[in-house]
Structure 1
Amino acid sequence: MQLVNTMAIDVLLVEDSPSDAKLTAKTFKTAKVLNTLHIVEDGVEAMNFLHQTGEYEGSPRPDLILLDLNLPKKDGRQVLAEIKEDSRLKNIPVVILTTSEADEDILRSYELQANCYITKPVTLQQFVRVVESIENFWLTVVKLPPVK
């Protein structure tokens, strides 16, 4: 039995690696799930998108955030902390998708209320499999919180 999501989902990908962002976008595009993937390259852009400021005025509130930790301008840990401290944003699920396997990063992310922590795999095939798994779980299995 294949699970299919019939609601449109907005996903915010915060990723500074152009190749990882492109591959994630390609994997999302080939899926059978209705979604719109928005991509920003650093933590400052992420917060502008979430607060709908600057060039992101009128941007949609994402239903899910995929967040890299090692970002320019504003670190992903700072972004996560700001999201979870903001009453308007804190119920958006945040999936950490990063290269870091450091125990302190994993522990700190969960202390900051990340919803899950995934280490990016090394090979292209494994990376695609991970993105598909994220998409299948978070966009077809999980019931996401309603927009406030």
Structure 2
Amino acid sequence: MLVKLAQRLGRHQWFARTMRVILPPLDIRVARLTKGKVVALGILPSLVLTTTGRKSGEPRRQPLIYVPDGDGYVVIGSNWGQPNHPAWSGNLLAAPAASVLLKGQEIPVRAELAEGPERERLWELLLLTWPAYSAYAERSGRRLRIFKLNPTR
């Protein structure tokens, strides 16, 4: 029931504006307290992505909704429908080695930017989990970056 409510509300700009400020810090705190066992308050399938900052070289953590695909994870740089790409997606383009914290496990991954038919297939998978991505894409006026995160171990 909460998932359906979140999916309905997710399409609205006021929801995205409010949640993009509130949820990421809350998700990071909850993930730390639960050692990564709970992210996004347990409502949607979520992970914490750790990238290397392309300017700072420091680890950068970002909670994200994901979709499983084979043995990998699919994430999208929606940035809640903002006109700019999220920083973490630029970090992955610069340094594709990253890690995900998922269900209490830290998993090293390598990111691949999805293109062509593979991107279209992954887009459809993402929409099944969070239909609001279509509203975010329209509102942002840009092509949202989709990444497949493949485990490296």
Length-normalised TM-score, structure 1: 0.29
More strand by share: 2
Length-normalised TM-score, structure 2: 0.29
